[in-house]
Structure 1
């Protein structure tokens, strides 16, 4: 792909940002009232996050959960029954996404699949004329994210990233507050993923369970014998399929940090340290990480993953801290979204010492029950944009997802190599480091190949 195309991706973010703060309170009004305006959507992956998808979509008018799809047939009867109970309609059941994409009656797909599948499924869906809601991180590598943006634009598709903090009312209000300059210049944001996780232990390989399509689950990843530790949810902790907690939970907080800083490009310097400590298990990804991202103007994002017993910071375990020239603010998780601002007055004394006073500022809460569910809000925004065909009004367009997912990928690369990376935002390469650049893509197992051109 030519560099000029990559530069265009970054310029396009400025267009996305014009629609990033569309008011939640009036989202429902954009929906049509006629049954003919219904959007037929299929849920791909229905064990954990997929349930949240169809439960949220069932609350939105004129949305038909037309189909559900999973490679684990054991999960489908219960999910189908729940969808029917929620909507009064029995969904089509499939085990192969290709059949969903070939179905002309389906308008959109909602992807709640493992990270290593997001890019291929999104690209295929765009090529099939489907709109896409894709869970975070949108990609498994930097190259994948770039191609996903290209596919969305080429096929004129609506592609929403599943970073629902972008549709959380209190978070949106707090970001407006920061962007107005009420806390002065924001010079640093801190993302926190202080989320204790239990050891997954050691598990031996075992026969593939009846009803599980293990080959398709692995997809583009290297083939290996079935192992429960590498299957449902625990795939997050292995590099072939996941991105660790930085890309699992942390992507939400990385995205909010970049949003608050107003960064519509990549950082230029990344350093990271991380290890898997305390436990003895099969897990490959670190359970502690310290990462710092520096942008070309000197502003900084710090990120910490702490997957063991831990304290909170300013009352926050999952969330963000924002630091400005006139004060600071705390923010809880993407689903809670409670934000507390504090003003700081610093004075230089005659003695040469400095004194400061701190006072409480505004608190941003989600106190309206009609708009308190960020996931429902986010899906509503997605459905509205499907109807309007205005991707610029998405709260988390795929390009936003690519920029934030790249933060996670670069943080993991810096951690794995334990050295500073110098990143070129224009051509999305790591300068002077062939070994690090190899991590920007990966080897794909045939026939699950990533195209060079979408």
Structure 2
């Protein structure tokens, strides 16, 4: 790992001017690491809900050291340190500043489980510092951000994995292979579903910043505002400054699978969407109901629906995908066992113009282990293997895939907010003759947390 650790020792990170040097953990810390040069040293950034999943998965992978954690909420630190020590036998170092993580030349990779508005900057800075990155979904807060993330990964030859772990799920991978082998014939439509009831967050007044919380750093590139519990842990998903609604929270997983099933490695050319926030009276800004349609250049269609209130299921699933082809259709359920079921459609056209239709059940795809933990550990294992091999092309959800799937969320949200159809140029990554829509492809950043023009 010498080449990776020595890479860009003296480069400068973004506009915040973070110089790469050496923080240096204590001798005692590293004395306990056997064969450190043959191991992958990882720092986990963000240790609340999803961050816990990160270090729990990493702890199951051989030759991985969780050497440091970083979070803006000091109240979370003791529990995380204790659990990591219990899982691995070692206490991780604790850093309040992300800069210190980047300065440590002995850290090979970072995993990022922070709010959406921080993903791009933290990933780009890590790439500039010579670190590999596992970044949670959605990978960015705007379309331009994830484009810059791809540029940074390529420029600095970094391994950057997107946290869409369905791409490492046994059932999903086998189902996609079945489709790629022609099992459903020509795929013409994919429908993603996020029918996940969400309660009201209510109205909450601004309050004092809790002790141990670095609120200024939490806000980062977003406009400064007083502390509010509704804009903090998890609930930040429901505000445009920090989140992308449930489309970018849960829905990104199903949008990614839908695009994967369609075999699309580009953006759609037409987007239309409707949505609103129904029933509840609360501070939430993002919609709890959305209906979206994306059309690709060849005419194939990706539909997506978010329903955050009580609702019926479709084909027996609430969170998953429905894939339609010339030979039949498939239901891909994302929760619980992640089962994929195939239904063969036999259509016979008669001379008089009428047709007969018969539907038969086909193969069923299930996971090796019937829970989400399998896909998460598989996904991190794939990341670590690629960190070792330096073959980013072998990632199951490389950052370019993250960019394309995350962009579906951004484009869908823009169409919903503007309340009109949009036409997009995939090559230029701009809307066609639509200056108003183009303004939503980026945002205004609060200094010094600026998105670099040249990564």
**What is residue 193 of structure 1 aligned with on the other side?**
194
Alignment-derived partner of residue 142 in structure 2: 141
The count of corresponding residues between Structure 1 and Structure 2 is 422
Shift in Å, 1:50: 0.1
Give the Å deviation of 1:372.
Answer: 6.5
Deviation at 1:115, TM superposition (A): 0.2
Which residue of structure 1 lines up, in the alignment, with residue 28 of structure 2?
none
Q: Which residue of 2 aligns with 1:122?
A: 123
Q: Residues of 2 paired with 1:50 and 1:367: CA distance?
A: 24
Partner of 2:279: 278
Matched-pair contact (CA < 8 Å) for 1:169–1:372: no
1:132 is matched with which residue?
133
C-alpha separation in 2, matches of 1:294 and 1:191: 14
Structure 2: give runs of 5+ residues left out of the alignment.
Answer: 1-33
Aligned to 1:415: 416
Displacement after TM superposition at 1:377 (Å): 0.1
Unaligned runs of 5+ residues in structure 1 are 1-32
Report the Cα distance in structure 2 between the residues aligned to 1:203 and 1:278, rounded to whole angstroms.
18
Compute the displacement of 1:35 (Å): 5.5
Does the 8 Å CA contact 1:252/1:334 hold for their aligned counterparts? Answer: no
CA–CA distance in 2 between the matches of 1:256 and 1:399? 14
Higher mean C-alpha displacement, 329-338 vs 166-175: 329-338
CA-atom RMSD, angstroms?
Answer: 1.4
**1:34 Cα offset (Å):** 6.0
What pairs up with 1:260-271 in 2 under 5 angstroms?
Answer: 260-271=261-272
Quote the Cα distance in structure 2 between the aligned partners of 1:116 and 1:350. 59
**Shift in Å, 1:351:** 4.7
SS in 2 for 1:373: helix
Give per-residue Cα distances to partners, 1:197-240, cap 9 Å, x unaligned.
Answer: 00000000000000000000000001000000000000000000
Cα pair distance change 1:191/1:50, threshold 3 Å: same
SS of the counterpart of 2:100? helix
On the 8 A contact 2:132/2:160 being kept in 1, the answer is yes
Partner Cα distance (2:51, 2:407) in 1: 24
Query: Residues 366 and 372 of structure 1 are in contact (CA less than 8 Å); yes or no, is this contact kept in structure 2?
Result: no
* 1:347-366 pair list within 5 angstroms: 347-366=348-367
Deviations 1:121-178 (A, max 9, x none): 0000000110000000000001101100000010111000000000001100000001
Residue 82 in structure 1 maps to residue 54 in structure 2? no
- Ranked by relative contact order (alpha carbons within 8 Å, sequence separation 6 or more), the top structure is 1
How big is the shift at 1:353? Answer: 2.5
Q: Is the 8 A contact 1:273 1:415 kept in 2?
A: yes
Match of 1:156 in 2: 157
Q: What's 1:233 paired with? A: 234
Matched residues in 2 for 1:236 and 1:243: separation?
6
1:446 aligned partner: 447
After the TM superposition, which residues 32-181 of structure 1 pair with which residues of structure 2 at under 5 Å, given as runs?
36-181=37-182
What TM-score do the two structures reach when normalised by structure 1? 0.91
| Cα displacement string for residues 321-351 of structure 1 (whole angstroms, at most 9, x for unaligned residues) | 0000110000011663210000011122455
Q: Is the 8 A contact 1:294 1:300 kept in 2?
A: yes
Q: Map Cα deviations across residues 80-125 of structure 1 (whole Å, 9 max, x no partner).
A: 1000000000000111111111111111000000000000000000
- Superposition map of 1:232-381 within 5 A: 232-333=233-334, 336-368=337-369, 373-381=374-382
**2:16 alignment counterpart:** none
Q: 1:429 to 1:63 in 2, by over 3 A?
A: same
